[in-house]
Amino acid sequence: MKPTDTSNPEYFHKVVDCQWGCPAHTDVPEYIRMIAQGRFSDAYMENRKSNVFPGILGRVCDRPCEPACRRGRVEDKPVAICRLKRVAADHRDDISERLPKAPEQTNGKKVALLGAGCASLTVANDLAPLGYEVTIFEALDTTGGLMRTNIPSFRLPPKVLDEEIGYILDMGVDLRLGHRIDSMKDLLEEGFDAVFVGTGAPKGKNLELPGRYDSDRIHIGIDWLESVAFEHTKEIGKRVLIIGVGNTAMDCCRTSLRLGAEDVKVMARKPRGFFKASDWELEDAEEENVEILVNHSPKEFVYEDGKLAGMKFDLMDYKIDEDGRIDRGTSTGEVIIPCDDVVLAIGQDNAFPWVERDIGIEFDKWDCPVVDETTMMCSREGIFFGGDSAFGPKNIIWAVEHGHQAAISMHKYCQSEDLHDRLPMGLNLSSQKMGMHEWSYSNDYDGAVRRLMPHVDLKERFNKLDIEVELGFTAEQVVEEVERCLNCDIQTVFTEKLCIECDACIDICPVNCLTITPNGEEDEIRSRLKAPALNPEQALYVSDALPHTARVMVKDEDLCVHCGLCAERCPTGAWDMQKSTILIPYATDEAEPEQRQAAAGGSAK
């Protein structure tokens, strides 16, 4: 194998599994250390830099970082990254002085952002400090998009939304509520320098089965949640069937329980393991005694005396092959399940009836706009997409990342720069050695298991729709949970010319990551390491030929716990623990220095 190129920021970035897994590259270990030191405001600002909505995301993020977290491989459960984010938000002081501010003078460029969801808000957050005149058009009378209309208040209190959205709007954004854009053509005539489409994927999928339109007790999940949020809907029948087992279904079933339902069944077509909902959402729903019935494929709506009485399902049988793939299944019988209401929660679609098809915006065969994944620009110059409107429904953190990238592009577009000529990611490394055996981070492995989030008592939480169920970690829990983080950003960095091949590092490594061995092909090397490197997703760090024997030092990154013992036992400092900081460019970094200074404003940089 060739020596690993550690000058490419990607290499060490990938070692920080959570940060690599986070679409917005939040520097998780950095903010967890800040929390450990009681620096909640710093931790909040560190989060805000990349994910803009720490208080919101600390409650409802889809948390792709957690399945990626190294701790989950070393032990069973990942670090409670997401809920630690909430700790930073809950305990921050007044940070208004540290927020970016718009300069006194605008730069004369006008941008229009469509929709006041998280995608558009991120663009506003990034462009307003550079002097852009930002106008947001929102169809509804309120901001936040699905975060407000669909994510129930018992998961995400409106106060949290208002605060964090306020930070952005307060920079002087021109917000036009109740202003639906009906024609892209008309909008373009208003002379904006760039347009961002952050209108989401607003159409709930329908289920065209016999009897679908013969009752008003059959609801489309996202529309129904919205009408609950706006208090148009205040009750539901005693027996409710939720069709689908994705995230929307989880919110629908739990909301039903708060509107008077007593018997709520989530009907899944497939067996467990093939559900779209995340494990923790399933757990939360099941804790509330929601029943999940697997292998039920909906067939028709059943009526008695003209009234919706239940639904008929095919009972399915599936075969799962060796690779874990499931077939289409065969029906083994039928069953009718009685109910009063049915909620369809089987997904969302994009819909752009208001975008004319003859203005140079190309649409693909699914009727979605064709959008460049790097620049977020569509086929018509100056129009950008992001969030659910770009590539279909995803989640908040993806919408935020799209917003950051679109903001860079919009800035470059407005300044007539090449959109593809973007600043690359950077990397800083600094040694963490403090003394003979002292490191500037907490390197001792703490065997504590993941802390459990305390919840409001089961009975009490149903009293009102908006009682937030999760209470947040206690101080004791925070102290334990922060120590579970392995500080994956404190990298093991190797300098081959210093190595005398004494084996000290190899012998001390608790998880057998290190081997000195003759070089070879990757597959073959993986099989003859001190412990076999069985996870191909995780890199091997391979040195150049060692001075004494021309063998190579190989490190399997998979299970390294970053305890620093290799560096501590190394007599020559060939291994060193160095903190990597991945430098992620934002729109401000692309701006001219004087603009940047203005943007930094009161923020503590």
Ligand X SMILES: Cc1cc2nc3c(=O)[nH]c(=O)nc-3n(C[C@H](O)[C@H](O)[C@H](O)COP(=O)(O)OP(=O)(O)OC[C@H]3O[C@@H](n4cnc5c(N)ncnc54)[C@H](O)[C@@H]3O)c2cc1C
150 vs 487, beta carbon nearer ligand SF4: 487
Select the binding partner of residue 246 from other proteins, ligand X, ligand SF4, none (C-beta < 5 to 8 A, by kind).
Answer: none
CB of 526 to other proteins, least distance (A): 12
Residues 226/117, Cβ–Cβ less than 8 Å: no
According to DSSP, the residues that pair with 335 across neighbouring strands are 313
**Residue 463 backbone class (left: φ over 0; alpha: ψ -120 to 50; beta: rest):** alpha
Q: Which of 9, 29, 298, 369 binds ligand SF4 (CB under 6 A)?
A: 29
Q: Which is nearer to ligand SF4, 428 or 572 (CB)?
A: 572
Tell me which of ligand SF4, ligand X, other proteins, none is bound by residue 18, counting a contact when its beta carbon lies within the kind-specific cut-off of 5 to 8 angstroms.
ligand SF4
Of other proteins, ligand X, ligand SF4, none, which one does residue 79 interact with (CB within 5 to 8 Å by kind)? ligand SF4
Binding partner of residue 438 among ligand X, other proteins, ligand SF4, none, CB cut-off 5 to 8 Å per kind: other proteins
Q: Which does 104 bind (CB under 5 to 8 A by kind): other proteins, ligand X, ligand SF4, none?
A: none
Say if CB 73 and CB 170 are below 8 A apart: no
DSSP state of 450: P
* Distance from the Cα of residue 309 to its chain's centroid: 40
Neighbours of 68 (CB within 10 A): 20
Tell me the CB-side half-sphere exposure of residue 329, using CA atoms within 13 A.
16
For the CB of residue 545, give the shortest distance to other proteins in the complex, in Å: 14
Nearer to ligand X, 103 or 387 (CB): 387
Residue 599 binds to ligand SF4 (criterion: CB under 6 A): no
Minimum CB–partner distance for residue 82 and ligand SF4 (Å): 10
Q: How far is the CB of 77 from ligand SF4 (least distance, A)?
A: 11
Binding at 74: pick from ligand SF4, other proteins, ligand X, none (beta carbon under 5-8 Å per type):
other proteins
Among 448, 500, 550, 583, binds ligand SF4 (CB under 6 A): 500
Q: Which is nearer to ligand SF4, 331 or 572 (CB)?
A: 572
129 binds, among other proteins, ligand X, ligand SF4, none (CB under 5 to 8 A by kind): none
Contact 112, 414 (CB under 8 A): no
Smallest gap, in angstroms, from Cβ of residue 310 to ligand X? 25
Nearer to other proteins by Cβ, of 315 and 508: the residue is 508
Interface residues toward ligand X, by CB under 6 A: 60-62, 114-120, 137-140, 145-147, 150-151, 180-181, 198-200, 202, 222, 225, 247-248, 251, 354, 387-389, 393-397, 399
CB 488 within 8 A of CB 20: no
Long-range contacts of 153-158 (CB under 8 A, 24+ apart): 153/229, 153/465, 153/466, 153/468, 154/254, 154/258, 154/461, 154/465, 154/466, 154/467, 154/468, 154/469, 155/59, 155/60, 155/251, 155/468, 155/469, 155/470, 156/56, 156/59, 156/60, 157/466, 157/468, 158/466
**Left, alpha or beta for 476 (phi > 0: left; psi -120 to 50: alpha)?**
alpha
CB 403 within 8 A of CB 121: yes
Q: Does 43 bind ligand SF4 (CB under 6 A)?
A: no
Site string for ligand SF4, 543-582 (x = CB under 6 A): --------------------------xxxx-xx-------
- C-beta closer to ligand X: residue 35 or 222: 222
Do residues 25 and 34 make contact, with C-beta atoms less than 8 angstroms apart? no
Q: What is the smallest separation between the CB atom of 45 and ligand SF4, expressed in angstroms?
A: 19
Question: Whole-angstrom Cα distance, residue 173 to residue 148?
Answer: 19
Q: Where on the chain is the footprint of other proteins (CB under 8 A)?
A: 74-75, 437-438, 443-445, 447, 500-504, 506-508, 510-512, 531-532, 534, 548-549, 559, 561, 563, 565, 568-572
Q: How far is the CB of 149 from ligand X (least distance, A)?
A: 7
| 512 contact choice in ligand X, other proteins, ligand SF4, none (CB below 5 to 8 Å, kind-dependent) | other proteins
Q: How far is the CB of 34 from other proteins (least distance, A)?
A: 22
CA 587 to chain centre: 20
We find the least distance from the C-beta atom of residue 501 to other proteins, in angstroms, to be 6
Residues 483, 36: contact at Cβ < 8 Å?
A: yes
Tokens of 189: 């005539």
Strand partners, 112: 135, 195
- Residues 397 to 436 in contact with ligand SF4, rule: CB under 6 A: none
Which positions from 65 through 84 interact with ligand SF4, judged by CB under 6 A?
69-71, 78-79, 81
Three-state DSSP at 263 gives strand
Helices (H), 360-395: 388-391
Question: Measured between alpha carbons, how far is residue 285 from residues 80, 253, 438, 599 in Å?
Answer: 19, 7, 46, 44
Record the tokens describing residue 268, joined without a space.
């899944």
> CB of 561: closest distance to other proteins in angstroms?
6
Q: What angle do CA 486, 488, 491 make, to 5 degrees?
A: 125
SS (H, E, C) 154-200: CCCCHHHHHHHHHHHHCCCCEEECCCCCCCHHHHHCCCCCEEEECCC
| Nearest distance, CB of residue 532 and other proteins, angstroms | 6
Of residues 504, 542, 565, 582, which one binds ligand SF4 by CB under 6 A?
504
Helix, strand or coil, per DSSP, at residue 90: helix
Q: Is 488 in the site for ligand SF4 (CB under 6 A)?
A: yes
Contact residues toward ligand SF4 (CB under 6 A) are 16-18, 28-29, 69-71, 78-79, 81, 485-488, 499-505, 569-572, 574-575
